[in-house]
Amino acid sequence: MKKKIIVIICLLFGLYAGAVELADPPQATITNGLVTATLYLPDAEKGHYQATRFDWSGIISSLEYGGHSFYGKWSDSEGPKVHDAVMGPAESYAPLGYSDATTGGTFIRIGVGVLRKPKEKAYSEYKLYDIVDGGKWTVSPKKDRVEFTQELHDSTGYAFIYKKTVRLVKGKPQMVLEHSLKNTGTKVIETDMFNHNFPVIDKEPTGPNIKFIFPFDVNEGIGGRGWGTVGKTNGKEINFLRALNKNEQLYSAGLQGLGGTYKDYDIKMQNQKTGAGIHVTSDQALEKLVYWACPTTACPEPYIKISVAPGKEMKWNTNYEYYTFTPDTK
């Protein structure tokens, strides 16, 4: 009798373990010997992220270097259809053809697919839209990189081949996001892309231990919130005066001080407590620089302009360096 019970328990455990394994979203771990990162992969049925705000490719659930962690869960919201379920340097493209679409018609989001336009007053970044066609995704994981390709064709005249490679640089604590967008349709692709970044350096909550450094004297601009009470600009830095409380935010719709060249795209995010940082640069000029922080993450959000004529291709890179430093003990 005992043997039968043990056998039954083992069978049930095996079935449970198998179900858990099947339920795990597709992912890949890459390394260059210095940096190790795990990425969630696009999948319309099993993918960790299936919402419509962010690009499905390049979602990094964890990245470690030198005993430090740089990304991770920052939101309590869970589920594949939840916008905030993303992690790491999440990118997002403004919609294509939304204003031209009638109710029930379609519009495009690069990295997501063809979406259905409902009856509404205006497009909302935070609304979950129905996906009509996610295009064709091809994903190629390798030891030190993951290559993503999305091919999409829509009856509205928009069509493209979008490629993104998340690559760890050989022998260096660096990561590059390599992009290319080839316009295979009949309409010009005019959009912008922003990167939310979502740093969670050593799981440090947002507060005085978190610092941001820019190459220009930064000003919070007009129409933000939280400045002077939870955060402040200080020359080339953004500092926090105290820890943020639950549901509290620091926000700027556009930091001021940009010079209009790619040299502005040079941002350092630091944990002053553990001595770990992220240095982000790009070969593109900043269109604008939004800033948003909540109790678990503080995010510079760089915007760049994307313009590709039919038959043409645009390429650009975003570079990440992960580094350590001696924390200021003052």
Average pLDDT over residues 271-276: 98
Q: Is the pLDDT of residue 8 over 50?
A: no
Kindly tell me if the per-residue pLDDT of 21 is higher than 80. no
Query: Across residues 106-120, what is the average pLDDT?
Result: 97
Give the CATH number, domain containing residue 177: 2.70.98.10
* Range 216-224 average pLDDT: 93
Residue 327 pLDDT grade (very low, low, confident, very high; cuts 50, 70, 90): confident
pLDDT bucket at 162, cuts 50 / 70 / 90 = very high
**In 161-173, which positions are buried (b, 16+ CB within 10 angstroms) versus exposed (e)?**
bbbbbbbbbeeeb
Q: Do 212 and 267 contact (CB within 8 A), yes or no?
A: yes
Q: Is residue 3 part of a domain?
A: no
Mean pLDDT of 158-183: 98
CB 217 within 8 A of CB 236: yes
Whether 1 maps to a domain, the answer reads no
Q: What is the pLDDT of residues 28-65, one digit of tens each?
A: 999 999 999 999 999 999 999 999 999 999 999 999 99
Amino acid letter, 164: K
Give the domain extent around 179.
Answer: 27-324
Our CA dihedral for 207, 208, 212, 218, rounded to 10 degrees, sits at 100
Backbone angles phi, psi at 281, to 5 degrees: -135, 170
pTM surpassing 0.85? yes
As a whole number, mean pLDDT of residues 149-173 equals 97
- CA-wise closest residue to 186 among 153, 162, 150, 137: 153
Each residue's pLDDT tens digit, 115-157: 999 999 899 999 999 999 999 999 999 999 999 999 999 999 9
Look at residue 92 and tell me whether its pLDDT is greater than 60: yes
Residue 166 has what pLDDT?
A: 98
257 in a domain, yes or no? Answer: yes
Residue 19 lies in a domain: no
**Mean pLDDT (whole number) for 160-165:** 98
Number of domains in the chain: 1
Q: Is residue 20 part of a domain?
A: no
In this prediction, residue 119 carries a pLDDT of 95
Please, what is the average pLDDT of the chain? Answer: 93
Mean of pLDDT values over 157-163? 98
Considering all CA atoms of the chain, what is the largest pairwise distance in Å, rounded to the nearest integer? 79
What is the number of other CB atoms lying within 10 angstroms of the CB of residue 46?
13
Relative to beta strand 276-282, strand 266-271 is: antiparallel
Phi and psi at residue 98, to the nearest 5°: -65, -45
Task: Round to whole Å and give the CA distance between 104 and 97.
Answer: 13
Out of 5-9, 102-106, 176-180, 206-210, which region has the weakest mean confidence (pLDDT)? 5-9
Q: Is residue 71 part of a domain?
A: yes
- Greater confidence (261 vs 199) lies with 199
pLDDT > 70 fraction of the chain, expressed in percent and rounded? 92
Q: Is residue 22 situated within a structural domain?
A: no
Question: What average pLDDT does this structure show over 73-78?
Answer: 93
Place of tokens 């299936």: 50
Kindly state whether residue 112 falls inside one of the protein's structural domains. yes
Q: CB–CB of 132/114 below 8 Å?
A: yes
| Mean pLDDT to the nearest integer, 210-218 | 97
What's the confidence (pLDDT) of residue 330? 56
Q: Distance (Å, rounded) from C-alpha 123 to C-alpha 117? A: 9
The whole-angstrom separation of Cα 199 and Cα 215 is 19
